[in-house]
Amino acid sequence: MVRSATSLTGNGVRDWLWQRVSAVILALYTVFILGFIWSTPQLDYVVWFQFFHHIGVKLFSILAAFSLLVHAWVGMWTILTDYVKPACVRLTLEMLVMIALFVYFVAAIVIVWSV
Amino acid sequence: MNKPRPVYLDLSKIRMPVMAVVSILHRISGVVLFLAIPYILYIWNQSLATASTYDEIHNALQSCWTRGLVYLILLALLYHWVAGIRHLLMDMGVGEEKISGRRGARIVLVVVVLLAMGLGVWLW
């Protein structure tokens, strides 16, 4: 079995499953957030702040941020594998994507934490 | 496979089936969303930091350029969402044959066009 050093789990089936599970979480979170914005008639800072202050929303947000880390990693890895053939360029881009996604994940936790 | 067959991969000359169009748009929208993550995090952070930074974001969204950018990001999100649901359905064995796959791809495009119009009405 060929194992990839840079794919999320080094196993295609496992990557596939992580991508699907994270997709479902992100799809639900998208409906949740856009639904809240859409269904709130008078959205102001206090309403917005209190929404994200709720512990359930915080946990859902961190879960979604983690899912985004996983989902974007599998997706970007797939695209880079398909379209960037020189190994050194591809590995460099994969590392940059991985570092960026990790930083975004930490940033999301810091934002949720500060509310 | 050593037959001297012509290799002809001029993408501008190949008429892609609708499933291929939906698939490549799914990838493109995914990359757009990846590139948009820092901007989304910035808006999210500013909107929650203080009441005055919330107002700054609110005011920035009144400008045509910012609103257009947010519209494009939300459009990529909607597209990726709808095409992703089609993928999950196909994983469950729904719409993965040639005929039903084509129908599913067409449904994705129609739904996204309708949602894009609805999103435009909502934002403007």
CB B70 within 8 A of CB B58: no
Q: Which residue has the tokens 């881009």?
A: A93
How high is the mean pLDDT of chain B?
A: 93
Which residues of chain A are within 8 Å of residue B77 when distances are taken between CB atoms? 30
Q: What is the pLDDT of residue A4?
A: 78
Task: Give CA–CA dist A5/B49, Å, rounded.
Answer: 39
Inter-CA distances, A40 with A19, A33, A37, B121, Å: 31, 11, 5, 17
The reply to whether B3 falls in a domain is no
Q: Which of these ranges, A98-102, B12-16, B69-73, has the smallest mean pLDDT?
A: B12-16
- Give the domain CATH number at B71: 1.20.1300.10
Host domain of residue B116: 17-123
Inter-CA distances, A76 with A20, A72, B46, B55, B58, Å: 15, 6, 27, 34, 32
The reply to whether B101 falls in a domain is yes
Q: Which of these ranges, A19-23, A25-29, A39-43, B79-83, has the smallest mean pLDDT?
A: A39-43
Q: Which of the four pLDDT bands, split at 50, 70 and 90, describes residue B73?
A: very high
Q: What is the pLDDT of residue B47?
A: 97
Q: Which of the four pLDDT bands, split at 50, 70 and 90, describes residue A111?
A: very high
Task: Give CA–CA dist A29/A105, Å, rounded.
Answer: 15
pLDDT at B79 over 70: yes
Q: Report pLDDT digits (tens) over B11-39.
A: 777 788 999 999 999 999 999 999 999 99
B55 and A24 within 8 Å at the Cβ level: the answer is: no
Q: Min CA distance, A95 vs chain B (Å)?
A: 15
With an 8 Å Cβ cutoff, is B48 touching chain A?
Answer: yes
B54 and A45 within 8 Å at the Cβ level: the answer is: yes
Mutate to test the interface with B, among A19, A73, A111, A114 (most CBs of B within 10 A): A111
Tokens of B110: 């129609």
Q: What is the pLDDT of residue A3?
A: 65
B84 and A115 within 8 Å at the Cβ level: the answer is: no
A52 and B77 within 8 Å at the Cβ level: the answer is: no
Closest partner CB to A111 (pick from B38, B48, B91): B48
The reply to whether B80 falls in a domain is yes
> Would you put residue B36 in left (φ > 0), alpha (ψ -120 to 50) or beta?
alpha
- The CATH number of A12-113, from 1.10.1060.10, 1.20.1300.10, 3.40.50.970, 2.40.50.100, is 1.20.1300.10
Number of structural domains in chain B = 1
Q: Which of these ranges, A7-11, A62-66, B70-74, B77-81, has the smallest mean pLDDT?
A: A7-11
Please give the interface size between A and B, counted as residue pairs whose CB atoms are below 8 Å apart: 54
With an 8 Å Cβ cutoff, is A72 touching chain B?
Answer: yes
Q: Report pLDDT digits (tens) over A72-96.
A: 999 999 999 999 999 999 999 999 9
For residue A96, the tally of other CB atoms under 10 A from its CB is 11
The reply to whether B1 falls in a domain is no
Q: What is the pLDDT of residue B1?
A: 57
Sorted by sequence, the CB contacts under 8 Å of residue A109 that are 6+ apart come out as A62, A65
Task: Give CA–CA dist B71/B8, Å, rounded.
Answer: 38
The reply to whether B11 falls in a domain is no
* Sequence ranges of the domains in chain A: 12-113
